[in-house]
Amino acid sequence: MRIVAGSAKGRRLCAIKGFSIRPTSDKVREAVFNILGREFHYKNVLDLFAGTGAMGIEALSRGAEHAVFVDKDSSSVRIIKKNLCICNFLEKAKVFETDVIHALNLLSKNKGRFDLIFIDPPYQTGLTEITLEMIDKNELLTDEGMIVSEISKRTKVDAKLERLCKFDTRQYGDTVVEFYRNKELT
């Protein structure tokens, strides 16, 4: 696993041994960032169910000013911090070791708003819908922001959203990436 582009291009990231997480492949990560565009204007990034932190770290490498990483697994949190050090981004990041629901409530209370949000929960848990609904309800996405959600091709997302809408879907093998933004932009 490596950083695809930007200031940390080519740096190898540490992964967690075993099957407790499934990091987004370099191929899928590169495709997602190509869709986001060459002129990377996402300054505040939120990486939920962060695992190794690869998505948020890729965003920092491409010019994001700050990233918040959330994962409840202590070994994931250690790997995220190690990967941030490898890429010299520790000062641009905040890492929370807690469940995503608690983190979203905390960020909402502190008026956190993000230009780019990554969601990659364990497959088949129903957490994608809950997470999208909380982001929508608490208005955690900036007006022109985007959400990138990674799911299994066997998953159907049926979130009840008022402000957000899905505007694009891409499939890469067993992985499906869905893109959401504010309805006013569609």
SS in 3 state form for the chain? CECCCCCCCCCECCCCCCCCCCCCCHHHHHHHHHHHCCCCCCCEEEEECCCCCHHHHHHHHCCCCEEEEEECCHHHHHHHHHHHHHCCCHHHEEEEECCHHHHHHHHHHCCCCEEEEEECCCCCCCHHHHHHHHHHHCCCEEEEEEEEEEEECCCCCCCCCCCEEEEEEEEECCEEEEEEEEHHHC
At 122 the pLDDT is: 85
At 15 the pLDDT is: 86
- With a cut of 50, list the residues of the chain below it in pLDDT: 19
At 186 the pLDDT is: 64
Mind listing the domains of the chain with CATH numbers? 26-185 (3.40.50.150)
